[in-house]
Structure 1
Amino acid sequence: MDLYIGNKNYSTWSMRAWLVLKHFQIPFTEYLVPFDDFSPEQNFKQTLAKITPVGKVPVLKHEDLIIWDTLAICEYLAERFPERHLWVDDFKMRAYARAICAEMHSGFMTLRNICPMNITQDLRQLGQKYFQENQALQEEIKRIDEIWSQRSSEKGFLCGKEFSIPDAFYAPVVMRFKSYGLPVSESSQHYMQTILNVPAVQAWMREALKESF
């Protein structure tokens, strides 16, 4: 399997797919395509145009199959490697897991637009300003706080004792909340620390800190 990703410091969707592959020890080769100005003649678009019609990352290439959407990548991996339990086993909890992944997949646009992921920077002053000035951002943070606080165990993950696809989907949000110092409940702070302690997340962060582009 080949996974094409963008900068680890910035690319939230790349992070999600990469974490699933890395955490569940699914062998893959990583191809990092650095972000540029995204114009058609530049390297980013030129490179991806040879692989996918949408010109975005991540892209998973497996034999003759190309998948260019993170949720579709995760679903494919879950079906391809059922023994690794990428989704939680309980069917009701699995439905809930898919629902919160879909909510992240299509929602929280204010957070995305105002607070782009930037792992290497301390943006707490900006985060405080944005939070105070933007009611839509406050409401999205409140909703994420609710999702994180609904987990069954204070020390657990979103859908049980083990890391699963929903945790990969919300890990970039943890990065944003950390960088921008966005306020969350004590329960959510525990969840953030749980995610930050995941070895695959730590590996992604270490590599993001090394980037100079």
Structure 2
Amino acid sequence: MKLIIGNKNYSSWSLRGWLACKQSGLHFDELTVPILGEDWDRIKTETDELAPSHGKVPILWDGDAVVWDSLAIIDYLADKVGRDRFWPKDEAARAMARSMVAEMHAGYMALRRALPMNVRKRITDAPITEEVRADIVRLLTLWAEARARFGKGGPFLFGTFGAADVFYAPIVSRFLTYGIGVPGFAQAYMQAVWEHDWMQAWIAAAEAEEWVIEQYEAPAK
């Protein structure tokens, strides 16, 4: 398999696709493309492997099969290796995990627009609008419920690392970048995600990148 991703410092959806591949346990090669760089328009039109997604990342190739969109990648990989690797076995926990992933996939637009992912950066004076604050409260409420109801088996949302953590890992990064204050249970969860071996590998690679995308170097105004 080959996974095509964007810049590790900025691309939250690439992080999700990459973590999904790691979670699958399957071997994959990765190709990083410099999204939104000076040559991006040329690269996305001239790179055949990006054609099926019209230049969007991540995109997973598995022989003749091609899958784009992070949620589709999780579903594809779960079909290959078994859904228990990604989703809780308990029916109620699985229902909540799927709902949380779907909500992350489609929602929190105010937070995502205002606080772009930037793994390397630390910003302490980002303006937090009411819309962004509402997204943060909703996220923390879901995290609290998942941990309280289903998190007894480990430090992650549903105990062990799974699809929900894959999808909320970029939120952990954003909260750390912009110094978002969170209660103790969320601090412990964020620490578990941030210190996960896969996240540490991603962070190290992001810090080693030389690309700078100016529009993501400060909170949106």
Q: Deviations over 1:57-85 (max 9, x none)?
A: 00011111111111010011111101761
1:102 correspondence with 2:97: no
Which residue is equivalent to 2:157?
Answer: 158
> Does 19-28 or 113-122 show the bigger shift?
19-28
**Partner amino acid, structure 2, of 1:137:** V
CA distance in 1, matches of 2:23, 2:75: 15
1:33-48 pair list within 5 angstroms: 33-37=33-37, 41-47=41-47
CA distance, structure 2, for counterparts of residue 24 and residue 173 of structure 1:
21
CA RMSD between the two structures: 1.9
Q: CA deviation at 1:55?
A: 1.8
Show the counterpart of 2:131: 136
Aligned partner of 2:141 in structure 1 is 146
Q: Would the alpha carbon gap of residues 190 and 41 (structure 1) be closer, same or farther in structure 2, given more than 3 Å must change? A: closer
Q: Which runs of 5+ in 1 are unaligned?
A: none
**Residues 48 and 55, structure 1, Cα contact 8 Å, conserved in 2:** no
Matching residue's letter, 1:135: E
Instruction: Note the C-alpha offset of 1:23.
Output: 3.7
Pick one of 202, 209, 218 that aligns with 1:211: 209
Q: Paired residue for 2:183, among 185, 194, 198?
A: 185
Deviation at 1:116, TM superposition (A): 0.3
Find the aligned partners of 2:45 and 2:140 in 1 and give their Cα distance.
36
Moved more, 48-57 or 4-13: 48-57
Deviating more after overlay: 20-29 vs 10-19: 20-29
Distance apart, 1:56 and its partner CA:
0.2
User: How many percent identity over aligned positions?
Assistant: 38
Residue 125 of structure 1 aligns to a residue in which SS?
A: coil
SS at match of 1:170: helix
Whole-Å Cα distance in 2 between the matches of residues 44 and 209 of structure 1?
A: 24
Distance 1:69 1:48, change over 3 A: farther
Gaps of 5+ in 2: 212-221
Whichever residue aligns with residue 175 of structure 2, its letter is: F
- Is the Cα–Cα contact under 8 Å of residues 40 and 46 in structure 1 kept in the other structure? no
TM (normalized to structure 2)?
Answer: 0.87
How far apart, CA to CA, are the structure 2 residues paired with 1:6 and 1:144? 25
Count residues with an aligned counterpart: 207
Q: 1:29 — aligned with what?
A: 29
Residue identity in the other structure for 2:167: F
